Structure 1
Amino acid sequence: MKMFSIKKLISPTGSIQGKIFVAFSLVTLIGIVAVTSIVYLYMRETVKNNAINSVNESIRQADESLNLRLEEVSRLNTVVATNKTVLDTLLSKTEEPSFEWFQEQKRIEEFLAALIAYKSYISRVAVIGLNQKVFFVGSPWLDKNVLFSPMMDALLQNGSGHAYFHQTGFNNSIVTGRELRYNRNLIGMVMFDLNDEFIKKIYDVKPTPDSMLYVVDRKNEFIYEPQTSVLDKEAFIQFNQQLAGTDGSVEKVINQQSYLVITRKSDYTGWSTVALVPMKSLLTETTHIRNVLATVAIIVFIFIVIGTLQVSSRITRNIRRLRSMMMHVMEGNMTLPTVEIQSKDEIGQLYLVFKSMVEELKRLLEGIMKTEREKREAELAVLQAQIRPHFLYNTLNTVKYLAKINGVPNIVEVSESLIELMRGVLGNTNEFLTLQEELQYVRNYVTIEKYKYVEPLHLNIEVENDDLLQLNVLKLMLQPLVENAIVHGLSASSYEGTVDIRIYKVNDELRIEVRDNGKGMSKEQIEHLFEVNKVQTNTRFSGMGVRNVHERIVRLFGEPYGVFVESEPDVYTIVQIRFPLLPA
């Protein structure tokens, strides 16, 4: 079940190759879309600006061309206004019809004809006197009724310099006129009609076939208007009022269609030129460019996707190899395939780490197998060892009962002490026990030992406080010291031996002193007790000496705890244990 969960955990539900492919494809797609959009918008803006510049330049050239013609007509007006023949004719008293009147008419018409010769843009020139004398060259026909027309009123009101009037109807034309004065008195008007076709030709500015261009005077009267218009006169007047005072370009929506509106006002005539260019027609070429860009972007993206698939496959090839090796090891095979990963990148480094880890795992598994084998052997040995103490306990009990039956109390005492001592040492596997239990081991040991010597052996235990007996101490911490005192201190003595054990507390330390009245030890002998390379083999019971007890305490609790020896030859020996206070 555990193996199944591991396999499920590393199953390729979301492969690195797939993530690299998707991520790179998304980044590429976003980049291509962004670049294509920026290029398209830039080209659209460029086309729009080029159209604005082109229309502005065309309108400027048309205005300049018209201004040149109007300036030329203004000079002709001045020529007529200062001509003596014209002034004398208007001031003469001749009446129509008369020979003198025909002579005057002939002279003025010859003068006017010569004046507009080779000027095709002028369709008619006329001199009109307030005395109802009318002379003209060109078409259409003109008579004295012109004096009572709106055109004449407009020209008379504004003709101190030069005035303009758009004449509509059968003969569309632009009329420019100037007053004729003699001795500062108004005597008449000179008028030049500009050909309507000339105006159309000048303002035939069309960046697109469906573009529209309007020219209006100061009174919002059309000077020029297209044949087809999206605005009637009233709508255009309102629209033009919104654009009043502005020169430049702006996008406007007219009849739910977007138009580029370009306006310009002539400084010479005061006329406003308004061009309406449909954005749809203007951007037709950019739409084609957009489609081309989209096609190219799709083709490039397809090639990049194919390349990304190949590159991601090559990048993750070593990852797939490493994964295969891991699956191989997970199935219990500790031998890696012969195909190695030779790359020097992170995957190659990861392979080397994995390889060393497998080798270490193989070594640990072999160690575990060896340990398990040794453990089984140790369990068998423990089972055998458990049989031996039980057999020994039963044998000692048998000896004790036989001694009791035969009335030998000494043997009974020794047997009981030995049984209790062995049961405590061999039966209790804990590393720590109470001080009271440790003292009982010491009593049992001394009971056994005292029958070996001729002279009596006395054990005195002094406890400062009974609460100290419930503290934890190391197992067999005190018995080796008493054994050392009896074996080395009292065995060679010729008088009664005494072992005094004093237990007390100093600050946060438990102090245990073992004092004997034996032969004592010199400094060399004391140092010999703590030599590392010496093993205390001459202890009779446990095989553990003073150095062993000292090392056990220091290893567990560090300095300043341990065993400290003070002795005077042939007088005494004091072995002191310093141990931390460990509640049970």
Structure 2
Amino acid sequence: MIFRKWRGLKFRNYPLVYKLIVTYILLTVLPMALLVYLSYTQYARSVEEQIGEYMPKFLYQANADIEKHIKELTTLPEMLFNSENILSILRRESYARRSDLNKDQYNMNSYLARTYTNGRNADVFGVFVLSNDRVFYSSKAGFKESGWAETIKEYALGGEKEDQASSGILLPADLKLHLDSDIPHVFIRKPINDNDNRRTLGTMLIAVDLTFIGDIVRNFETNERADLWVMEPSGRIVYHTNRALIGTVDPDRSRYPVLNGSFRKKVDGEPAKLVSANQTDKLGWILVHSIPLRDLTQRADLVRNVTVFVFVAIVIAASLIAVVIAYNMTRPLKKLSGLMKTVERGDFQVDLKVQSGDEVGTLARSFNSMIATIRELIEKNYQIEIRQKEAELYALQSQINPHFMYNTLETIGMAVEEGDTGQVVDMVTLLGRMLRFSVSSQSKSVTIAEEVQHVKDYLTIQKFRFEDRVHFDIAQMMDDRDLQTFYTPKFILQPIVENAIKYGLETRKALDLHIAVTEEFGARSGKRDVVLRVRDNGPGIAPDRLEELEQSLKKISFEGRDSHFGLINVNARIVMMHGTDYGLQLHSIVDKGTEVTIRIPKIRGEELPHAENKNADRG
């Protein structure tokens, strides 16, 4: 423990350049090396798993083709019954003269040659028919043993005749005969049954050239280092790509974990191999495919070697560059540290003069840019504060339009003259509530319910004045509790409605106003926002004028107060209070109408600034 602590303190005291180099190695070289290793091992494992999964399927198909071909060959004895002459020879049990036997042998052998060995069955190179102590044959290759005929005759007729007359597949070793050719082969034994007389006329042995197996498996395996062989359940090899092993016994047969699947085989002194096997249902033969694992990952090994070479080269080059950069970085860092302490004391009139173009130079320029930005932000904050005060002053000044007040009082006077006391009482009540809303609270924010009630009072008075020329409806799609809970900047609806009435009544006999209060998801804010929409059927706004208004809203400027200053005023106050994710959006079609969308955040009373809460409480 003490030794580790001493080593930690010692490393902590190393120069910064050494720390940077060690950190670079730990954070870059080691993860890259680990990534290369894991990528290679994962790729090699995936290749092995894929081959191990798909190879048994290929073997199954190859085994099915082999079994199908063998089955076709087992039907060849039936061709003997196509000739009445041949059938009569097989049915003959004795001869009076030797010449008759020789004649039958000649005819039979000629027929076998024409029908089997010289026919379209290329895989048949020999046919032997044993009947009534006679041997008929046609073969492309002879036996090494001189007495082969007697051996075959003894095998077919001697001993357990009933067993030997059954169908089956015989290996050359079963007959104890050897061809004078190295063709891999087996014998198909098939009894010749005379169904008309219900007796067995003899036995046919068909010598089959097994090289057709190589043609079948060659369709899906071209790797010269892969081994393919067919063996009996006991392990005796019937066919092998290495012909020297045909007839031998696979010593590992008893240790095969599966006969229909793949497994890894490791033998001392030899590379590991991937072995796949499949066993046929009828013949019971096992088709085995074996390939060294390194051959499966040969391409991956090449990529790995190239990657390692490139990785080492990159590491060496990057290490040299890191050393140079680390030494160059440590020189101006001390000066930068001193200037940062100066900035911490509140002095922003500093400048880090570093002329290099490397990361340290970039850091120096970023530092200078940061200081300049801070100075600009300080100045900008002062300007924003001044503009906000100006906006608040203008908002207070324009809360009750003098023309609106004059027209309202004139309407009240006309109602008095007409003796409509009820209308006078309603208008005075509404006007008083509007005045109380304007002067009773100095808070910048009010509840949504209060803001909606204020604009409703305003529109009701306008309804009294213009009668059937003004129609309005207010759709509150939020819960009443939410309307009383969430706050909005003050006087954001009335300027919008004023504009709609002013321009709408200039060109329309009747103006329809629809106000909706909803809660929607904001794409910019990523939150649930409060959305207020004011839609009218007025004259609309021309596209060029609409684009000009949208540009004015983006600038948040109060210069050039024109007829649409109310829109700019409302948007500026919302953006200053809640950020650029909120504000106004305009949608207008000429001669169809205009829709103004006001988006504000969902803010409760306790979330308002302290001073504003205090003022709101007083109100």
Q: Specify the TM-score bucket, using the shorter chain as the normaliser.
A: 0.3 to 0.5
Q: TM-score, normalised by structure 1?
A: 0.47
Whose Rg is larger?
Answer: 1
